[in-house]
Structure 1
Amino acid sequence: MRIRPLLCCLPFLLLASCESVQTTQGGAVGVDRSQYMFSALSSTDVDQMAAESYNEMLAEAKSKNLLNTNAAMLKRLRTIADRLVKEVDHFRSDARTWNWEVNLIKSDELNASCMPGGKILFYTGIVDKLKLSDDEIAQIMGHEIAHALREHGREAISRAYTTQMGTQVIGSLLGLGEGTRQAADMAVQYGLTLPNSRSNETEADLIGLELAARAGYQPDAAVTLWQKMAGASQGEPPAFMSTHPNSSGRIQNLQHNIPKVRPLYDAAK
């Protein structure tokens, strides 16, 4: 049979549809992993999709009178964002020219995000329920900005495309039934997709830590932030089954890297 040679060649066929890129500079924290992006999917494409989704979310929140209702909190967020955005060129120079936005939705949800292209969204719950200081807000906002700088959204779409294409090709070659195909999909998910997602989360932690330090926000706030997040979470899944590092592992990694950014914080004060 010729299946084995075809399977051996499959990773190279999938990679042929991707290109290796380095979306950011490594910074003091040393984030230098090569990324593989689907070559037909440009940053502009992803930014446009993100902007459309962001505007839809804002329109829905506005229709329910939930958009930017807390003027004082919104001012805090935008002030912190202004300071962080001034530091993004340490990782990629073009990001300073992005059309940055910061908006706030009234919700008990513990959530915040920064979509591709610099579209930042916070929910009031994460600030109120965790009683976040400005330093802690800067850490989580820096983390979310880092996802945008590293184009983790585009990377995830690229990875999903190649993963789906790979399982379909393997299933076709081996004549897998539906149950076996599902098992193969799960193996791909936990063997490829989730580890890469955890890697992205770790990168965002480190870049966010450096951005906040350069902007003059206390690095130790990264530890207190994730301690608060851990306290607010219930039934946290083990790290192997989660796209996020477990809280203890995340905090240890941040503590290990804080000395790298401490001089940047001292210089910014």
Structure 2
Amino acid sequence: MGHRHIWLVLLLAIFAAGCAATRTTAGGAVGVDREQTMLVSSGEVNRSASKAYQDTLRVAKSKNLLNRDPRQVERVRQVAARLIPATVAFRSDAPGWRWEVNVVTDRELNAWCMPGGKIVVYSGLIEQLQLSDDELAAVMAHEIAHALREHGREKAGQAAGVSAAAAIGGALLGGYFGVDSSLGQSLISGVGELAFMRPNSREMEQEADRVGVELAARAAYDPAAAITLWEKMGRVAGGQPPQWLSTHPSHASRIADLRVYAQRVQPLYAAARSSR
């Protein structure tokens, strides 16, 4: 077997070895139990996420934009303090993550939770939408749901998978069909991004919506607040989602789905309220 053939076999073996499907969370009452393919280790993703998170905090602090309003910061952290224990319904390890919650003063309508529980909420989201505590919980629960489902790791794996497929495909086209291997890699990578990467983003958003309403309900926040949240978002955005929602479902389809799942978790909300 020639060196080219050995290299190709090794690439195929490495790619196949990383394709085992896994379930990152319990399905919960909302039934989100899709198996996910993880091609990148959680350690790698957490290291990258930690660096990006620290960079964000450093820049915000240098501009005196980090945690400027103590009352607002306390409010956000109180919401997080109720949501975090409820994550055990989906992952037994999640309450023990090294959670951090910060607020950045910025008009941007934005919030995120990085892998491992690093949360940042932008003041513009709270102030421009005049969020109630239930609506703030809806935003944060949605972002926490992404972290619980390890969507960041899944997307990193998809990118790695596209790169591996491009390398393998380039070798096939170059080695067996006489096509320049770099051209083959470019062609396959482009097709992979369109056919593989983009459809998953909406699927992930729907999962985060559904897990998010259950997480909020278990923390005794009204899951129906997710509906009013996205109605507000639609009005502020003029029918177009803001940048952080650019790959999300349309407001109309999202609200229709949220109505169904918010109703489904109402018994959990009632039970959580009665136990407080």
Identity, in percent, stands at 48
**CA-to-aligned-CA distance 1:183-239 (integer Å, 9 cap, x gap):** 5444322321011111111111111100101111111111111111122225738xx
Q: Is the Cα–Cα contact under 8 Å of residues 170 and 183 in structure 2 kept in the other structure?
A: no
| 2: CA distance, partners of 1:134 / 1:151 | 25
Q: Could you tell me which amino acid in structure 2 is paired with residue 35 of structure 1?
A: Q
Q: Is the Cα–Cα contact under 8 Å of residues 50 and 116 in structure 1 kept in the other structure?
A: yes
State the Cα RMSD in Å: 2.2
Deviation at 1:132, TM superposition (A): 0.8
Which range moved further: 228-237 or 215-224? Answer: 228-237
Query: Cα gap change, 1:181/1:52 in structure 2, threshold over 3 Å: closer, same or farther?
Result: closer
**CA-to-aligned-CA distance 1:93-129 (integer Å, 9 cap, x gap):** 1111111110011101110000000000011001111
Q: Could you tell me which amino acid in structure 1 is paired with residue 60 of structure 2?
A: A
Answering whether residue 227 of structure 2 is matched by residue 217 of structure 1, we say no
Correspondences of 1:213-252 after superposition (within 5 Å): 213-234=217-238, 236=240, 243-252=247-256
Deviation at 1:169, TM superposition (A): 2.4
- How many residues of Structure 1 are paired with residues of Structure 2 in the alignment? 255
- Structure 2 residues without counterparts, runs of 5 or longer: 1-10, 174-178
| 1: CA distance, partners of 2:24 / 2:18 | 18
The residue that corresponds to 1:29 in the other structure is 30
| 1: CA distance, partners of 2:172 / 2:47 | 36
Q: Is the Cα–Cα contact under 8 Å of residues 103 and 123 in structure 2 kept in the other structure?
A: yes
- Structure 1 residues without counterparts, runs of 5 or longer: 1-9
Deviation at 1:59, TM superposition (A): 1.2
| 2: CA distance, partners of 1:245 / 1:171 | 34
| 1: CA distance, partners of 2:142 / 2:12 | 31
Secondary structure, in 3 states, of the residue corresponding to 2:32? coil
Larger Rg: 2
| 1: CA distance, partners of 2:115 / 2:185 | 32
The residue that corresponds to 2:4 in the other structure is none
Q: Is the Cα–Cα contact under 8 Å of residues 195 and 243 in structure 1 kept in the other structure?
A: no
Q: Could you tell me which amino acid in structure 2 is paired with residue 190 of structure 1?
A: L
Q: Could you tell me which amino acid in structure 2 is paired with residue 152 of structure 1?
A: H
| 2: CA distance, partners of 1:85 / 1:225 | 20
